[in-house]
Amino acid sequence: MEPSVLTFQDLEEATHDFSNYYVLGEGKHGKTYKANLGTGEAIAVKLLGIDDPVLDDEGLQNEFHKLRRLRHRNLVGCLNYCYETRLVPEKQHQKTFRALCFDLVPNGNLTRYISCMN
C-alpha cells in the first residue's frame, strides 16, 4: 500500500466506530484495532492519545516518515497515518484525533510468541 493520509471517517468505518470487538491490544499510548478497509485489505490502527501536546501535526508526520524507513523482518511496516481535528458537538469543543496504520500480522502478538518459546 502506498503511504497516504486516511481520514478519521475512513478509520471509523473500517473499525465500526472503534468497536471493542475490533481491539487487538492496548498500550500506554492507546488502543490498536483491526480495520477492514474498503479495498478489502485488513490493517492495524493504533489510535493515539487524544490532544497530546507533544505530538502535533508536524511531530506525527516526522514519526510516520521515520517508521516508514525502518526495514527489518521482525518489524511491522507503517503504512499510513491520520491527523484530524473535528468539533465534538456534545462537548462544544474540538478534539484532535491521531492514528498510525500498520500492516496486520496474522500470527498473533509478540507476547504470545515469546511465551510459546519458553
pLDDT tens across 34-59, in order? 999 888 888 888 887 665 555 666 76
Which residues carry a binding-site annotation? 46
Per-residue pLDDT, 96: 75
Q: How confident is the model at residue 1 (pLDDT cuts 50, 70, 90)?
A: very low
99's grid cell: 492514528
Homologous superfamily (CATH) for 8-117? Phosphorylase Kinase; domain 1 (3.30.200.20)
Q: Which residues are bridge partners to 93 per DSSP?
A: 88
**Residue 87 in this model has a pLDDT that exceeds 50:** yes
Report the C-alpha gap between 72 and 75 in whole angstroms: 5
Which residues carry a binding-site annotation for ATP? 46
Q: Over pLDDT 70: what percentage of the chain? A: 62
